Amino acid sequence: MQVITDIGQKVNRASDGFNLSIENVMQIGFNLIRKSPGIYIIYSIVGFFALSNPVSGLLLGGPIIAGYYIVSHQISNERDATLADFFRSFDKFLPLLILNLLLGLIIFLGLMVLIIPGIYLAISFLFAHFFVWFYDVDPLEALRLSRKTVSGNFGQILLLCLVLCGINLLGVFAFGVGILLTLPFSYCVVYAAFDDIIGIP
């Protein structure tokens, strides 16, 4: 209960407003991935195969995404990481599965109504995986906490997402293989942003 109380206080402070240096989190993300680029690239290849169809994407997307954050956290704390560490996310397979199903449904409905609501929801829920894995909250609460956090400065988070989307487009244009580096880099940057705004124990 103390953990939930503490994270609630952190989210309340963030929702009152925060200033995120995009340049700074990009630099941190770069520093993270350059320490172990090989395992990030290999994991991304595995991830692409695992998420190659909608069914496996819905079932495995939550743990796959969380895996990037787990390893980024280890490297950030100067701990060695291996490819196996990415898959520790499956220790919380059920809550991450439920989270991914909820995200998919909510964002899909938002896009069906109008494109802008779908985009808004996707950005608002950017940090949901962190709350499930690092703070052990249930998926619905993770969505609420993420939306409340992002609301503290939605414009900056939107800008960060646009920058990362542009970088990943460049990765796709680089013979299609650049995405294997730009995608994990993006997750490292999102990790750095969450750590800056909320912090990770």
pLDDT tens digits for range 63-118: 999 999 999 999 999 999 999 999 999 999 999 999 999 999 998 888 887 788 88
Distance of CA 134 to the CA centre of its chain: 12
Give the C-alpha distances (Å, rounded to integers) separating 28 from 35, 36, 59, 80, 196: 11, 14, 30, 17, 10
Burial of 49 (0-12, 13-18, 19+ CB in 10 A): exposed
Q: Give the 3-state secondary structure of residue 187.
A: helix
pLDDT tens digits for range 145-180: 999 999 999 999 999 999 999 999 998 887 777 899
Per-residue confidence (pLDDT) for residue 5, from 0 to 100: 52
pTM summary value: 0.93
Could you give the CA distance from residue 126 to residue 123 in angstroms, rounded to a whole number?
A: 5
pLDDT tens digits for range 8-45: 999 999 999 999 999 999 999 999 999 999 999 999 99
Per-residue confidence (pLDDT) for residue 108, from 0 to 100: 87
In our burial notation (b when 16+ CB lie closer than 10 A, e otherwise), range 72-106 reads: bbbbbeeeebeeebbbebbebeebbbbbbebbeeb
Between helix 128-135 and helix 139-150 the angle, nearest 10°, is 130
Could you give the CA distance from residue 40 to residue 188 in angstroms, rounded to a whole number?
A: 10
Could you give the CA distance from residue 149 to residue 15 in angstroms, rounded to a whole number?
A: 5
Going by C-alpha positions, the residue among 68, 123, 124 that lies closest to residue 96 is 68
Record the tokens describing residue 32, joined without a space.
């993270």
Rg (CA), the chain: 16
